[in-house]
Amino acid sequence: MKANSDPLLSIKGLKTSFHTHDGIITAVDGVDFDVFPGETLGLVGESGCGKSVTALSVLRLLNPSMTTIQGQVDFDGKNLLNLDPEEMRMIRGSTISMIFQEPMTSLNPILTVGEQIAESLRLHEKLDKKKAWEKAIHMLEMVQIPSPEIRASQYPHKLSGGMRQRVVIAMALSCNPRLIFADEPTTALDVTIQAQIIRLLEHLKKGSNTSIVLITHDLGVVAQMASRVVVMYAGRVVEEAPVVELFHDARHPYTKGLLKSIPIITRNIKTRLNEIPGIVPNLLHMPKGCSFHPRCSEAMDICKKESPPMIYFKKNRRVACWLTSDDYGEN
Do 284 and 202 have their domain in common? yes
Note the pLDDT of residue 39: 93
> What SS3 state is found at 232?
strand
Do 156 and 179 have their domain in common? no
User: CA–CA separation, 182 vs 43, rounded Å?
Assistant: 10
Do 196 and 148 have their domain in common? no
Do 30 and 164 have their domain in common? no
Q: Is position 129 within any domain?
A: yes
Do 124 and 209 have their domain in common? no
Of 129, 148, 172, the one marking the end of a domain is 172
| Sign of the C-alpha dihedral computed for residues 148, 149, 152 and 154 taken in this order | negative
Note the pLDDT of residue 251: 94
Note the pLDDT of residue 330: 45
Q: Is position 1 within any domain?
A: no
Per the model's pLDDT, the better-predicted residue between 295 and 142 turns out to be 295
- For residue 139, which of 120, 160, 111 has the smallest C-alpha distance? 120
CA angle 270/186/198 to nearest 5° reads 100
Name, in order, each residue with C-beta under 8 angstroms of 244's C-beta and a sequence gap of 6 or more: none
Range of the domain at 150: 105-172
| Contact (Cβ atoms closer than 8 angstroms) between residue 178 and residue 8 | yes
In a 13 Å sphere around the CA of 240, the CA atoms on its Cβ side amount to: 21
Note the pLDDT of residue 3: 46
- For the ranges 67-76, 191-200, 296-305, 307-316, the lowest mean pLDDT is seen at 191-200
Q: Is position 2 within any domain?
A: no
Of 155, 172, 189, the one marking the end of a domain is 172
Query: Model pTM?
Result: 0.90
Q: Is position 211 within any domain?
A: yes
CATH code, domain carrying 68 = 3.40.50.300
Could you give the number of structural domains in the chain? Answer: 2
User: CA–CA separation, 322 vs 126, rounded Å?
Assistant: 54
Do 125 and 224 have their domain in common? no
| Contact (Cβ atoms closer than 8 angstroms) between residue 2 and residue 35 | no
Do 146 and 202 have their domain in common? no
Name, in order, each residue with C-beta under 8 angstroms of 9's C-beta and a sequence gap of 6 or more: 34, 35, 58, 73, 74, 75, 179, 211, 213
Do 150 and 18 have their domain in common? no
Burial of 6 per CB tally in 10 Å (0-12, 13-18, 19+): exposed
Give the pLDDT confidence of 30-61 residue by residue, as tens digits: 999 999 999 999 999 998 899 999 999 999 99
Note the pLDDT of residue 331: 44
In a 13 Å sphere around the CA of 83, the CA atoms on its Cβ side amount to: 19
How many other C-beta atoms can be found within 10 angstroms of the C-beta atom of residue 262?
Answer: 13
Do 87 and 48 have their domain in common? yes
Do 44 and 117 have their domain in common? no
Of 119, 151, 172, the one marking the end of a domain is 172
Do 160 and 55 have their domain in common? no
Do 230 and 164 have their domain in common? no
pLDDT category of residue 313 using cuts at 50, 70 and 90:
confident
* Sheet with 236-242: strands ordered across: 96-99, 179-183, 211-216, 40-44, 228-233, 236-242, 317-320, 310-313
